[in-house]
A and B are shown apart, each in its own frame.
Chain A
C-alpha cells in the first residue's frame, strides 16, 4: 500500500489543480484552451479516482475525456469565434446571478459534506474492485447496463436526425405546407415568392 502521507499530498495537489483548471475554463480568452483546461481538470479527478483505488473508472476517465475534449476543441475551431484567444473575450450573461448560484450551491453541498455523518466503511483489503464491477455489470445490474446501451443507441439516432442537413426525401422543409387559415384556403405564412406554380405542389420523387 502507499504510505498515507504521500496519498494525502498527492490528493491535495490534484484537488487544487482540478479546481484551478476548472475555474480557468471560464476565465481564458481562447475557447480551445478552455476545452484543454477542462481536460486537465478531468484528468486530475481521474487521478484522484485512482488514489481512491477505483482503477477502472480512473483509467476510463482518462481515455473518455481525452477523446471528448479533442472533439470539443474541434467544435470550438469549427463554430466559435476567437478560438485562438487573440482578443480578450468575456461572453457572459446574468453574471451576478451565476456567481451567486455557484457560491450558494458550493456552500450548500459543502455544508452537507461537513455536517452530515456518513458511516466509515472503507474498502475491504481483499477487494478485487475491477472484477466486482465486471460481475455487477454483467450480473445483477445487467438490465441497467443494457438500458444504458439502448439509450446510447437512441442518442446516436437522435444526433444524426438533428444534425443531418436533409431528410430521406430531400430537405426537411421542402414540400411541407402549413394549413390554411380557413378550411381549404391558401396556406398561411408561406413566403411570397412561389410564382412558377400555384403552390400546394408536392415534389414526389
Chain B
C-alpha cells in the first residue's frame, strides 16, 4: 500500500462516479455517482494525510469537510427529488427540461 496505489484507487472511484453522474437518468442514481466521486476524494485526502503529510491534522479536517459536503449534497438532492416529484410526478432528469433552450 503506497500513496500511488491509494491514489489509483481514488482515481478509479472518481472515474466510475463521473460515468454514473453523467449517464444515469434517475435523480437518485445520479446522486450515487456524485457520492462515488466524493468517496474517491475523501480516500485521496486520507492517503495524502497518512503518507505525504506527516500526519498534519488539516488532512483529517479536509476529509471531515468533504463528509459534510456529502451530507449536504444528499439532503438537498433528496429535497429536490421530492419537490420535482410533487410538481411533475417524475423521477428522471429528462422530465425537467423546460428551461432548455
**Chain A interfacial positions (CB closer than 8 Å to B):** 7-8, 11, 15, 18-19, 22-23, 25-26, 31, 34-35, 38, 41-42, 45, 48-49, 51-54, 56-57, 60-61, 64, 68, 71-72, 75-76, 79-81, 91-95, 97-99, 101-103, 105-106, 109-110, 112-114, 118-124, 127, 129, 132-133, 135-137, 140-141, 144-145, 148, 151-152, 155-156, 158-160, 162-163, 165
Contact = CB atoms under 8 A, between A and B. Distances in A.
Given A79-B85, A121-B51, A121-B53, 12 more contacts: A19-B12, A22-B17, A26-B20, A34-B29, A52-B6, A60-B64, A79-B28, A106-B12, A106-B15, A119-B52, A124-B54, A162-B83
Interface in B32-79: 32-33, 35-36, 39, 42-43, 46-55, 57-58, 60-61, 63-65, 67-68, 70-72, 74-76, 78-79
B22 interface: yes
A122 B25 contact: no
A103 to B, nearest CB: 7
13 contacts: A11-B5, A19-B9, A19-B12, A31-B28, A35-B32, A42-B35, A91-B25, A93-B94, A101-B18, A102-B20, A102-B22, A120-B51, A136-B60
Given A79-B28, A155-B72, A23 B1 contact: no
A159 B73 CA distance: 11
Contacts of A159: 75-76, 78-79
Given A22-B36, A136-B57, A53 B5 contact: no
Nearest to A7: B1
Contact of A18 (B7, B9, B78): B9
A113 B8 contact: yes
Chain A facing B: main interface SS: helix
A70 B95 CA distance: 26
Given A91-B25, A123-B54, A152-B71, A45 B78 contact: no
B79 A52 contact: no
A118 B47 CA distance: 11
A140 B60 CA distance: 13
A159 B47 CA distance: 33
Contact of A91 (B19, B29, B32, B54): B29
Chain B facing A: main interface SS: helix
Contacts of A101: 18-19, 22
B65 A144 contact: yes
A73 to B, nearest CB: 10
Contact of A53 (B50, B81, B86): B50
B32 A60 contact: no
Contact of B67 (A15, A60, A113): A60
A46 to B, nearest CB: 9
A122 B50 contact: yes
B39 A45 contact: yes
Given A79-B85, A91-B26, A57 B11 contact: no
